Amino acid sequence: MPVPEDELVFAVEESSIGQVLQMMGADEATVVKAVREELEWSLSQLLHGEQAALQLTAQLVNSMTDMDAKLYAGQQVVEECRHVEAFAKLLARKFGTVHPIGGNVKWILDELLGAPSWYFKLVGMQIIFEGVAMAIFTDIVKRNRNELIRESVRRIARDEARHAAFGVLSLRQELRSLPQQTRDELEDWTWKVLEVVANGLMVGLFEDVAPKYGIQAEPLAQMIFASDGFWDARYHLFNHTVLPNLKKLGIVTERTRHHYDGFRLWENTAPYGSEPIGYLEFPD
C-alpha cells in the first residue's frame, strides 16, 4: 500500500508548519511536503520512544520483584521489538528519513532509563510515556488520511493500551506500602517528567523541521503555544490516559496539585484547584 509523496497525509489546518507556510503564500507542493515531513518527524520520535521502551522493559524484567510481573514485562519486550520493527520499516520504505531524536524527548528517555527503582520506571514509562503515546496514536489515526499509516498505528496502539493497564495494576498495591518520603520523591519526580513532556514534545519539531522551510523556530513556537488549539490539544493529550491513571494511583496529591493546576491540565468542567486529590483506596 503506497504513501505517495504528493499525498496530503492530513489536513493543512492540522499541521503547525503547514498552516504557517500557507499563510506565507507557499505553493501547494511545498505545503504538502512540509505536512508529510511533520508526520515523518512524529513517527521518528515514536520510533525512538519504542527503542527506549524496549530497553526499559528489559530493565523491568530484572528489577521487578513479582514473578507474574516479570513474565508480563518479558512479553512486553517482544511487543516492543515488534513496534520498533514496524516503525523502522514504515519510515524506511514509505518515507525514507528517520529524524534524530528531539532534545527534550532524549532527556525524558535518559531520565527513565536512569530512574532509581522499578516503580519510578513504571510510572515514567507505563503511566506517562505510554499514556502520552496512546493519545498521540489516537490523534494520528483520527487525523491521518492514509490507510496504511492509520492501520499500522492502530495495531501498535492495541499493545500500548495493555502496557498502560499493566502499569496501573502493578503499582496500585506497591505504592501503598512505600514510606511517605519515598512517595513524596516519586510525586516530585513524576511532575518533573510530566512538565518536560508537556512543554517540550513539539520543540524538536520546530527546531529540526521548520528552518528547512524558512521558518524560525522560536517565533513559530511562540505563535503555536499562544493558540487555543495548542491548549486544547495538550489538554486531550494528558486527559486521554495519563492524568486519569495518575489520579487512580494517588500520585497527584494536595501537596503537588498546584503544579498541575497551573498547567491547565484538569477537566474542563471543574475549576482548577478544586477538589484536591488524596491517595485512593483500592480493593484487596
End-to-end CA separation in angstroms for the chain: 49
Provide, rounded to the nearest whole percent, the portion of the chain with pLDDT above 90. 33
Q: What is the pLDDT of residues 89-113, one digit of tens each?
A: 999 999 989 999 888 888 888 998 8
| CATH code, 161 | 1.10.620.20
With vertex at residue 8, the alpha carbon angle to CA 32 and CA 1, rounded to the nearest 5 degrees, is 125
| Residue numbers of the domain that contains 200 | 12-262
Let me know: does 247 contact 194? Beta carbons within 8 Å. Answer: no
What pLDDT digit, counting tens, does each position of 10-65 carry? 899 888 899 999 999 999 999 999 999 999 999 999 999 899 889 888 888 888 87
Residue 107, domain member (yes or no) = yes
* Residue 5, in any domain of the structure: no
CA 238 remoteness from chain centre: 9
Cell of 25: 503564500
Lowest mean pLDDT among 138-147, 214-223, 226-235, 245-254: 226-235
Max CA pair span of the chain: 62
pLDDT value, residue 272: 32
Q: DSSP per residue over 142-174, as a string?
A: HH---HHHHHHHHHHHHHHHHHHHHHHHHHHHH
In a domain, 268, yes or no: no
Asked if residue 269 is part of any domain, the answer here is no
Q: Is residue 276 part of a domain?
A: no
Using N-to-C axis directions, what is the helix angle for 103-113 and 28-63, rounded to 10°? 10
Residue 71 lies in a domain: yes
Tally the domains of the chain. Answer: 1
Give the C-alpha distances (Å, rounded to integers) separating 198 from 29, 70, 168, 194, 233. Answer: 32, 30, 21, 6, 11
Is 4 inside any structural domain? no
Q: For residue 86, which of 131, 152, 32 has the smallest C-alpha distance?
A: 152
Query: pTM for the full model?
Result: 0.85
pLDDT at 214 over 70: yes
Highest averaged pLDDT of the listed ranges 212-216, 237-241, 267-271: 212-216
Q: Say which residues have a Cβ less than 8 Å from residue 62's Cβ, sequence separation at least 6.
A: none
DSSP secondary structure string, 88-151? HHHIIIII---PPPPHHHHHHHHHHHT-SSHHHHHIIIIIIIHHHHHHHHHHHHHH---HHHHH
pLDDT band at 73 (very low <50, low <70, confident <90, very high): confident
Q: Are 90 and 43 in contact (CB under 8 A)?
A: yes
Does residue 283 form part of some domain? Answer: no
* Percent of the chain residues topping a pLDDT of 70: 93
Distances 168 to 45, 113, 191 between C-alpha atoms, Å: 25, 19, 17
